[in-house]
Every structure is written in structure tokens, then in C-alpha cells.
Structure 1
Amino acid sequence: MRRLVAGLLGATLLGGVAAQAADLPVKAPVYKAPPLPIYNWTGCYLGGNVGGVWGRSNINIPGYPSNFNINNSSFIGGGQLGCNYQIQQFVLGIEGDWDGMSLSGDALSGGAASERYSVKWNWEASVRGRLGWAPVNTPWLFYFTGGATWAHMSSANFIPGVVSTTALSGTHNGWTVGGGVEYQLTPNWILGVEYRYSQYQKKTYQYLGPVDVDLKTNAIMGRISYLFHL
């Protein structure tokens, strides 16, 4: 009889412990945040660029009349300054640059005595937005860019000309679009290649009569920048 009572008490106690264990709250699984990107593009940068530029100036002389192109090419080089902000894999940015060049050439104007007309462009500058995509955990950034641009015509004149005229100069504004790719060599040093097409306004210059001049360019540049992380 004693053994029967002890067995019943033991079963009751075990059942109570099991019931209490079943009522205990179950711990929620631990949430692990996704790993931070290894490569970070957020920050401001300063750097330099070098490459080549190919230009075409259209010259229109209503008085003759005459309309022709002057094709030229040149070394181009300068510097860039900009800032990026990364949102997941997207990178938004703004950049300004200034580049020296020597786009010069001449062509027959259609005037008397085999007269020629010459132009020379010596610098360009731009302010542009950038929209990029950085693949997860890779050092690459692919981007589009576009904005406002300016080119300076340092000299334009008739040579030799039946009548002597004074060389004229001016700055033309316009727009530019392009794209590029960049590679984070280290967390701070960035290498890149960029292509841009630019188109500058037509302006009228007065010699003995009006002459309309414009410019279109294609440029490709290698770039190096130092990124200051924010």
C-alpha cells in the first residue's frame, strides 16, 4: 500500500513539473542584422584626370554664304571634386571638374584668296549629377552622369584674310552626358574611366560681318581620386 501511494505521488509531481515546463515562454529566434557592405562609397573626394578629346566646330558665315566644320583633337587633363552618398547599392553624387585642352584647327572659309578660318579651345568645366550602382561586396561602381558644362574659345579669326581682322574669344555654355566605372583600389583610393559627350551653344561673333561658331566634343579620361569617408 505504501508503495502504491508513493508511486501515485511521484507521478503527480512529475506531471506538474512537465505541465509547468510546457507553459514556459519559448525564446524568439535571435535576429542577426545583415552584414555591412565591405566597400563604402559615401564621402567626398578629390582627384585628377587625363585623356583625349575629339571636337567639331561648325562655322556658319551668312555673308558668303558658307557653312563648314573644323575637326580637331587634343590631350585633356585636369581635376575633379565631388561627393557621394550610398543608399544600399545605389550611389547618388555631385561632381565639378575643370580640364585644360588645346582643340585647334582651321578650314577654308569660302572667302577670297584661299582664306581660312581658325579656332582654338583651351579649357572646359562642368557641374554634374551622378547616379551609380555598386554591386554587393564588390569594389566596383557603375554610374551615369550629366549636367551643365562650359568651354572657352581662346581664339578665332580669319587667316590670312583679304582684310585684317582681330581674333575674338568667348565662353560657350552647354550640356554634357556620359558614364563611367570606378574601382576601389583601397578604402580611400579610387581608379576610374569616364566617357562624356558635350554640346556647346552656338554664338555669333562680329568681324566685318557675323560668324556663328559652336562646338561638340567626345572625351574619354582615366581618373584617380582620394575618398574622404564621412
Structure 2
Amino acid sequence: MKKFTLALLAGTALMAAPAVAADLGRPIYKAPVAVAAPYMLWNGFYIGANAGYSWGRDRVGGGRADTDGFSGGGQIGYNWQFSPNWVFGIEADLQGSNIESDVALLNTNVHMWGTVRGRLGYAWNNVLLYGTGGFAYGRNELTGFGVSQSKTHTGYTFGGGLEYAFAPQWSAKVEYLYVDLGREFYDAPAFQTNVRSDFHTVRLGINYRFGGAPIVASY
């Protein structure tokens, strides 16, 4: 009986040996390690410059006058990126300009304007599409009958833009704004009238972001 049992165990071992050898020869595959997709970091302070073209229509008394001209200046802002895609920011800008009407009797000219705006954008890595809106102000000059008077106007603005990061700290943007500077009363000796100034602006800009953030980072 003992011999029979030993013979049975030996036969079983011989039958199992090829299967074990086959298993030892098979490659062992490991599951891939999950890696978070990279995304652009828009956080932090930035400064920049802009230049653009404006066109609109001023209301002077009971009449209207078409306006147009160029402007250029700078901006400063800060972004908070609260997910890989959503970016909130605040931006202030100031431009010198020459947005004027060409009217013989009463000529208007916005020499300076600026805004303080919120921005909310959706980012695809290094591309940011955003809407913007907030407070606007400007310095307008009314000239006629040999005299002129300047007033500071205040109002609102809204628009949107597209910003593209082409380097770790540099980005370029194209932006549209509608600017309504509101109505002011001018009371020079030669004229007494209300002026309302509003215009559209399309401009290009470039920004430099501080902090040395990389172009992409894991989230």
C-alpha cells in the first residue's frame, strides 16, 4: 500500500510539472499607473500692454456724432484657478486714446479711459476663453466756438476675449469691450449741453505672469 501511494504521488508530480513550467515562462504584466493629465497654470499676478481701435457714437445735446480712434496702454491683474478648467480674475487697465468725433461746431475727444473688471474664463490647457465686465471711466474733451472743457465720465463695460499662453510666463490675447462712459453736463461760457460717450473697442494685448509657473502641471 505504501509503495502504491508513493507511486501515485510521483505520477501526479510528473503530470503537474509541465503546467508549472509553462506558468513560470509566462510574462507578468502590471497594471498601468494612472497619471493625471497636465494642465496650464493661470494663477497669480500679471502685467501687460495693449493697443486697439475704437468706434462709437457720442450724443451731444439732441444730436449724434460718430467717433473713432486708437488707444494704447497697460493692464495689471490677478487670476485664481479653482479647477483645471475654470479661472476667475480681476483686471484694471488704463489707456491713452484719441477717440474723437469730426463735427464742425462741437467736437468730442476721449483722451483717456480705463476699466476695473472681473473676468471668468474656461481654460483648455494654455487657451483661455473668458467673459469680462465692470466699471469704466474716461476723460472727454468738448471743443467748440473757440473754447473747450474737459470732464471725467463714469459708466460700465462688458465684453470677452481669448488668451493664449505661448511660453511659461507669457501670453497674448485678443479682446472686445463695449464701453459706456455715461452722460455729463458741460457748461462752458460758449455752450451748455449734455454729452454721452460710448464706444466699442477691439484690441490686442500681451501679458507677463509672475511666479515662474510651469507651462503645465499635474492636478
Into which bin does the TM-score normalised by the smaller protein fall?
0.7 to 0.9
Shift of residue 152, structure 1, vs aligned partner: 0.5
Deviations 1:94-135 (A, max 9, x none): 100001101223435xxxxxxx11222100011000011112
Return the match for 2:118 from 126, 129, 132: 129
Matched, 1:88 2:84: yes
| Superposition deviation, residue 88 in structure 1 | 1.8
Who is 2:97 aligned against? 101
Distance in 2, matches of 1:175 and 1:45, equals 23
Change beyond 3 A, Cα 1:176–1:7 = farther
CA distance in 2 between counterparts of 1:8 and 1:93 reads 80
Q: Does 1:188 align with 2:160?
A: no
Q: What residue in structure 2 maps to residue 75 of structure 1?
A: 70
Distance 1:125 1:185 in 2: 27
Deviation at 1:214, TM superposition (A): 0.8
Between Structure 1 and Structure 2, how many residues are aligned? 191
Find the residue that maps to 2:3 and give its secondary structure: helix
TM-score (norm 1): 0.75
Structural RMSD (CA): 2.3
The answer to whether the aligner puts 1:118 opposite 2:99 as a matched pair is no
1:1-230 correspondence to structure 2 within 5 Å: 1-4=1-4, 6=6, 32-37=34-39, 39-60=40-61, 67-86=62-81, 87-107=83-103, 116-135=105-124, 137=125, 139-153=126-140, 155-160=141-146, 166-207=147-188, 210-229=192-211
Judging changes above 3 Å, is the alpha-carbon distance between structure 1 residues 92 and 7 closer, same or farther for their aligned structure 2 residues? farther
8 Å contact from structure 1 (residues 118, 159) kept in 2? no
Deviations 1:142-199 (A, max 9, x none): 111100010111x213325xxxxx5221111110011111111111110110010011
Kept in 2, the 8 Å contact 1:69–1:107? The answer is no
SS at match of 1:134: strand
Q: Percent of aligned positions with the same letter in both sequences?
A: 32
The CA distance in 2 between the partners of 1:223 and 1:6, in whole Å, is 89
The structure-2 alpha-carbon separation of the partners of 1:9 and 1:41, relative to structure 1 and needing over 3 Å to count, comes to same
